[in-house]
Amino acid sequence: MTGQAPPDAPAPQIEIERMKRRAEFLAAAKGASCARGAVVVQALDRSAERSQIRAGFTATRKIGGAVVRNRAKRRLREAARLALPLHGRAGFDYVFIARGGTAARPWVRLLDDVKSALISLAANQVPAASAPAAVHR
């Protein structure tokens, strides 16, 4: 035995902390955002303060009543649980905002929306250490 996991073993689960306070959501709103299909994802780099991934979920009354909002958030939580370990970046806060079709969107398309938004956010965010310095004139 080499001590490695068999190829069919599930990937190790990364613990994702939940964001619950309004101030955390407002801070994340100041970061980058990406809208894809039935979801908007906001991301804020907090790597200077913490190294784990945090996620928050929200749905406004505009998308429907309590039952619809709760269903939309449940679906977003599951999509984030599956996508964040693969496409999220450590030290970032992510806020998933449900849009009108989140509750009724086919599961595969919703999952694709979340993955696409996370990939797009990761591609557009350059680490501060490697970012070119701004030139002021």
Domain borders along the chain are 16-121
Work out the average pLDDT over 35-63. 90
For 16, the 3-state DSSP assignment is strand
Cα separation, 127 vs 57, whole angstroms? 25
CATH number of 16-121: 3.30.230.10
Flag whether pLDDT at 55 surpasses 90: yes
For 68, residues 6+ apart whose C-beta sits below 8 A from its C-beta are 59, 103
Say if residues 24 and 38 touch (Cβ distance below 8 Å): no
- Is pTM beyond 0.85 here? no
Say if residues 77 and 112 touch (Cβ distance below 8 Å): no
